[in-house]
Amino acid sequence: MTTPTRVVVVGASIGGLTAAETLRQEGFHGEIIVLGDEPRLPYTRPPLSKQILLGDWEPEQAAIRTAAELDGLDIQVRTGCTATALDLETRTVHTTDGPVPFDELIIATGTDPRPHPLLPWAPTLRTMEDALHLRDRVRASDRIAVIGTGILGSEIASAARAHDAETLLIGRSGMLGFGGVGTLLAPELARLHADNGVELALSADVTTAAPLASGGSDLTLGDGTTHRVDLAVAMIGGAPRTAWLTTSGLSVADGVACDSDGFAAPGVSAVGDVAAWADPETGRHVRVEHQSNAIEQAIAVATRLTHGASAAQPIPLFWSEIHHTRIHAYGWFAPERALVDMTHADGRGTVHGSRDADGRVHGVVGWNAAPRDFRTARAAVLASTPTLISQS
């Protein structure tokens, strides 16, 4: 293994910075450059739709490291520097600040929110600036429509109710989703929203929309109902941020396609929401849009670059807090594997597992579960999935 002297990380969020920090922790002494397109130093994104939007935190509380801490680690973070192209032949990242050569490249650019085709004026949520703008709008609104029935849609609806706004949650699938769990929690999520005063329109997509001079919107849904709202928020998913890789030669159909160790090409790895790692069991390329996965993948890639050894394929772990209800999920879920009760009699909350016909536990969900109960359930997933160790 040839030891690189310069590692460039494109993407200055938790995945990119974790990769940089892990390189240092594992003994890499070369140059580390992290490129970020935002004017801020790296911060963690889950609080944007929770503590920041609720008004419980200010931006500095989401910061991952201070400038002094980054200097102490000898990690160079270039803010306001956007990657525009990748040249694999010359091993160069082209940016708005000029070319940046590399020995090893780690791609951690995340996703961009998809704009709603009928509401291009509706705010979305990706950056700290987005969250602060949305917080101000939510505070000033009496009636809010949230379009999108994934985790972020539920979190925005929860925050809107916390600010005492009448809230309408709109979707066309008929079901509420929860990340990798899919719609297996849909009935429980629907009850949770209804119990907290959220109006649900889950089988009625927006068919027409008109902006109002006040900043609100008039919406018509597929069921024929009309709704005037002070604020409409679009939370209809994200697209991997790969436009800058179009001419690179990398496979970027739905994120950067990688093997089960995170390799996208010789000397190029990808982690986090933008990365589609190959499942070592099925070979399918899968993107997992959750912070814990970005952290685990970043650690695995940085460890491989430093020591040359492949690590275990990270098992997806994700969580949310909706209407003060903490929901954790760990593992893999499929619609054909219904969730079964795994709760201990003396436990708080509930724990459910996704089992196959042979009794193997592929994933577990904790619903306000005691931490010890959820840790026990996670161990059942680990014991059931010995093939997750990479063979590369």
pLDDT higher than 70, residue 128: yes
- CA angle, corner 182, sides to 176 and 187, nearest 5? 40
- Give the pLDDT of residue 314: 75
Domains of the chain plus CATH, in order, are 6-112+239-307 (3.50.50.60), 115-236 (3.50.50.60), 324-388 (no CATH)
Bridge-partner residues for 275, per DSSP?
256
Closest alpha carbon to 267 in 130, 109, 102, 127:
102
pLDDT higher than 50, residue 74: yes
- Classify residue 267 as left (phi > 0), alpha (psi -120 to 50) or beta: left
Amino acid identity for residue 341 in this structure? D
C-alpha 359/C-alpha 342 separation (Å) is 12
- Give the pLDDT of residue 390: 32
Amino acid identity for residue 33 in this structure? I
C-alpha 53/C-alpha 32 separation (Å) is 33
pLDDT digits (tens, 9 = 90+) for 208-264: 999 999 999 999 999 999 999 999 999 999 999 999 999 999 999 899 999 999 999
pLDDT higher than 70, residue 391: no
- Give the pLDDT of residue 389: 31
- Give the pLDDT of residue 346: 55
Confidence band, pLDDT 50/70/90 cuts, at residue 279: confident
Query: Tell me, what DSSP letter sits at residue 76?
Result: E
Give long-range contacts, CB 8 A cutoff, 24+ apart: 190-193: 192/322, 192/323, 192/325, 193/154, 193/157, 193/169, 193/322, 193/323
C-alpha 38/C-alpha 60 separation (Å) is 15
pLDDT digits (tens, 9 = 90+) for 135-193: 999 999 999 999 999 999 999 999 999 999 999 999 999 999 998 899 999 999 999 99
- Give the pLDDT of residue 387: 44
Closest alpha carbon to 150 in 338, 322, 332, 284:
322
CA distances from 328 to 100, 109, 349 (A): 40, 25, 11
pLDDT digits (tens, 9 = 90+) for 286-343: 898 889 889 999 999 999 999 987 766 778 888 999 999 999 999 989 999 989 998 8
pLDDT digits (tens, 9 = 90+) for 14-70: 999 999 999 999 999 999 999 999 999 999 999 999 999 999 999 999 999 999 999
C-alpha 29/C-alpha 5 separation (Å) is 8
pLDDT higher than 80, residue 79: yes
C-alpha 98/C-alpha 83 separation (Å) is 9
- Give the pLDDT of residue 290: 87
What mean pLDDT is predicted for residues 105-114? 96
More confident residue, 34 or 384: 34
The residues near 19 (Cβ < 8 Å, ≥ 6 apart) are 9, 106, 108, 271, 298, 299, 301, 302
- Give the pLDDT of residue 392: 28
pLDDT digits (tens, 9 = 90+) for 344-368: 655 568 999 999 888 899 999 999 9
CB count within 10 Å of CB 214 equals 9
What mean pLDDT is predicted for residues 64-87? 97
**Lookup: tokens for 45:** 């994104």
CA dihedral sign, ordered 328, 157, 236, 79: negative
Secondary structure (3-state) at 388: helix
Burial class (CB in 10 A: 0-12, 13-18, 19+), 160: buried
